[in-house]
Structure 1
């Protein structure tokens, strides 16, 4: 015969379960752990929000750069020299019933790099804003000079009489045609030759290398060594690079931008590098022995972009990156805050309802939404202070009402302030972030072990 529990028995069982939840350390630990896991959900959404805003920043910066001018890559000048090659073709003549050999002439091209290439770039930089987003833009004045030696293709088994001297031209390749502010011409031994665009169908407009070419050069110039000089003025953004096509290539760059980043295959000379708050002046020198490509190519020039070098105009403040790094410590902040409340509850026998833990956890997650939204309109330090003070004040006042103790609520406020300060220091550090973070966590663990050593964990 089955016996069912009476209402009185069910009430007693419910009361025992409620009493266990209130008095059992294990129950409280399980409850706190469960709430921490639940609060990972809003934290994950906050991380998604930060990433979305950072992608928005990238889009806006690209929009600024497209309107002003994109990245600059300078490649050239290059001498394009046509030459003849020959091949034999055998055909069968039906009428004479004989084979006839015919010689066919083909026009190919040799691409010759200069012996000496000197570039002086004067860059006037500034910050441009669209809403709250910033990009580094500039106007760069390039002065390009150099020298060619007498063209000699005999090393490539090309006879001098097979060179088509009167059809030679000069090539100049570059990105950011849209940003060029002046007509481009090159002077060869004092004679001016204008460049025209060779259309290059390439969908990747931002990083496309467009080709400019002069008309045919006076062949008398090519019979001996000759000098060249040209000037190009660009509106551009973010970075300037060049490919060292000269047998000896030098580039000097001066700018009023205080935060340059040197990129590419070659670093500037340390002895002459000068960087301060007023700007920078640097120079490079690249010899042919320093790069793995030749001074002469037949038929086609390989892709040499990997040998480019230059300067990136860095915008140091990246609020979204700092906000993202801060949000990664969200689990730590919530866990340690709950641990403090748990220890106070356990040691003082004060009852804290799960709903109150949940409210405290949600207040802690609000810190990151405040941080992201305020940092879009101010610098990161101010946003961090406003968000931190707001959350710490809110939780301190709330803990005063639930703990009924000024001492405990003050302790929680001080602990949260120290924790947020500790995380801010870690965010600012780069090389020592792991070291400082590890030492800080060790000290926190040691403090928790010291405080909890007198708790009777067996009285459960």
Structure 2
């Protein structure tokens, strides 16, 4: 009986010392380490949200998206409403009319815009650099003879001497230029006008002018300049019968958006900035050149450019953390193969220390990134963790051959992940090829392990 119990204890001890049991424990530890890794991911999301709040706060003060809708010529006209008047003595009812002022709106025949958008990186709040821009926008074109026949308005009812020019735009508080427009040889000043409807546009309107006097040659040429502080995007509504937009900027990562695409033959994007042109004709969009009573909402026809950061530091940190499970798993696999091939014992506690060191890489990465570039932070955090694990491996493995191999393997792994993070279009392809090669290497080195005796 005593010999039987000793044999059972030996068998039990031999199982926990077997390769299978050690593999199970290392696999379980890998899953447990996903818990602190998730906390690190939560920290990245929290810091990213904090940056977004600061960026939104700065954008509110500096200037947000720039939308431009105009210029539009407004001409008041009279309409007549009939109403009944009853004589109190005779009780007879007569129909009378009263004049009501409405407005007719006319879009320009030609609208040209040349804009230069300059990136401003000096705006800093705390540890965050807020990337905003200043836009210098030059407009010119002309209004032709208004087509009042399409509106069904009697010309005698139009008050030509009370015409005005209207511009609808966002960021009124962030306009930095003098608000005036030149109509033929006459200069008029813009003044802000309260909106009667709920819209994100603000309205600028000139003082009144006499259209017939000013348009003696049949058209009114205009030109004016708008200078904005803004962020995120610049967009236009193509109100001209022919609308031509030319954008130049030192922003190296634009995203062209909206209903109309930029001209591919003239569009250029490089490290020094971009240039883009649009030419939109009235046949390219389905709205009229004149309206009576109300200016329509034409936001669905907007187009322009969104000025983006392709991958900011928190997005890069988040992408790096997604490979955390891969880094921990492959590092543990390297140690496990060394342990199995060399018969050197590695305690589960030592695996835990190695795993925690790997997780510390991500906390180092995000904290250093906030005070420098992502690339520099990645190098510092990577070197620190590789040196720590390699030095710890010397005491575990009792030689220098395996720690050198571990250090080189970790260097290759972190370099591989950094390359994937920097890539956009080829990240999946490079990642798939890299994992295939890693799997091939594991299969090659594991072929010497005698699994039958473990």
Q: Which residue of 1 aligns with 2:170?
A: 175
Structure 1 partner of 2:394: 400
Q: Do the aligned partners of 1:371 and 1:383 also contact (CA within 8 Å) in 2?
A: yes
- Alignment pair present for 1:145 and 2:140: yes
* 1:228-267 equivalent positions in 2, closer than 5 A: 228-267=222-261
Shift of 1:69: 2.9
Deviation at 1:332, TM superposition (A): 0.8
Does residue 136 (structure 1) correspond to residue 131 (structure 2)? The answer is yes
Tell me the CA shift for residue 360 of structure 1. Answer: 1.0
Residue of structure 1 aligned with 2:69, choices 52, 72, 75? 75
Residues 135, 238 of structure 1: 8 Å contact kept: no
The alpha carbon displacement at 1:256 in A equals 4.2
Distance 2:343 2:197 in 1: 73
C-alpha deviation, 1:185, in angstroms: 1.5
* Deviation larger for 399-408 or 373-382: 399-408
C-alpha change, 1:201 and 1:379, in structure 2 (3 Å) is farther
For 2:206, which of 195, 214, 225 is the aligned residue?
A: 214
Q: Contact conserved, 1:165 with 1:222, CA < 8 A, in 2?
A: no
Distance 1:403 1:276, change over 3 A: closer
Counterpart Cα distance in 2 of 1:337 and 1:287: 61
Match of 1:377 among 366, 371, 380: 371
Quote the residue 1:58 is aligned against.
52
Question: What secondary structure, in the 3-state scheme, does the structure 2 residue paired with 1:108 have?
Answer: strand
Unaligned runs of 5+ in 2: none
- In structure 2, the partner of 1:323 is 317
| More displaced 10-residue stretch of structure 1: 155-164 or 427-436 | 155-164
Does the 8 Å CA contact 2:115/2:246 hold for their aligned counterparts?
Answer: yes
Does the residue aligned with 2:411 lie in a helix, a strand or coil?
helix
C-alpha distance 376-147 of structure 1, shift in aligned 2 (>3 A) = same
- Report the more deviating stretch, 322-331 or 248-257: 248-257
Report the Cα offset of residue 197 of structure 1.
0.9
Whole-Å separation in 1 of the counterparts to 2:123 and 2:161: 51
SS in 2 for 1:106: strand
Over 6 Å off, 4+ runs: 8-15, 91-94, 201-204
Task: Trace 1:232-381 onto structure 2 (pairs within 5 A).
Answer: 232-315=226-309, 318-381=312-375
Change (3 A) 1:31 1:411: same
Task: Give per-residue Cα distances to partners, 1:182-238, cap 9 Å, x unaligned.
Answer: 33122222112211111238999xxx3110112222142367422122222223334
Q: Is the 8 A contact 1:135 1:315 kept in 2?
A: no
Give the Cα–Cα distance (whole angstroms) in 1 for the partners of residues 305 and 393 of structure 2.
53
Aligned-residue CA RMSD (Å): 2.9
Q: Which of these residues, 155, 159, 174, is aligned with residue 154 of structure 2?
A: 159
| Matching residue of 2:449 | 455
2:417 to 408, 418, 423: 423
> Do the aligned partners of residues 410 and 279 (structure 1) sit closer, same or farther apart at CA in structure 2, a change above 3 Å counting?
closer
Instruction: Report the number of matched residues.
Output: 451
Structure-2 separation of matches of 1:199 and 1:48: 44
2:178 corresponds to 1:191: no
Q: Distance in 2 between matches of 1:11 and 1:102?
A: 119
TM-fit CA distance, 1:279: 4.4
d(CA) in 1 for partners of 2:24, 2:269: 57
- Pair 1:50–1:243, CA change in 2 (3 A): same
For the 8 Å contact 1:239–1:310, the answer to whether it is kept is yes
Identify if the C-alpha distance between structure 1 residues 15 and 86 changes in structure 2 by more than 3 Å, giving closer, same or farther: farther
Q: Deviations over 1:17-48 (max 9, x none)?
A: 4442122x332222112111111111111111
Q: Take 1:116 and 1:251, find their aligned partners in 2: how far apart are those partners?
A: 11
What SS class does the counterpart of residue 128 from structure 1 fall into? coil
1:230-272: CA deviation from partner (whole Å, max 9, x where unpaired) = 2222233343222211010112233444544433333333333
Deviates more, 1:378-387 or 1:98-107: 98-107
Give the 3 Å change call, closer, same or farther, for CA 452–165 of structure 1 in structure 2.
same
Q: CA contact under 8 A between 1:78 and 1:114: conserved in structure 2? A: yes
Compared with structure 1, are the counterparts of its residues 203 and 324 closer, same or farther at alpha carbon in structure 2 (3 Å cutoff)? farther
- CA–CA distance in structure 1, aligned partners of residues 14 and 289 of structure 2: 87
- 1:32 maps to 26
Question: Contact conserved, 2:386 with 2:410, CA < 8 A, in 1?
Answer: yes
- Offset at 1:327? 0.6
Bigger mean CA deviation after superposition, 327-336 or 304-313? 304-313
**Distance in 2 of aligned mates of 1:298 and 1:202:** 17
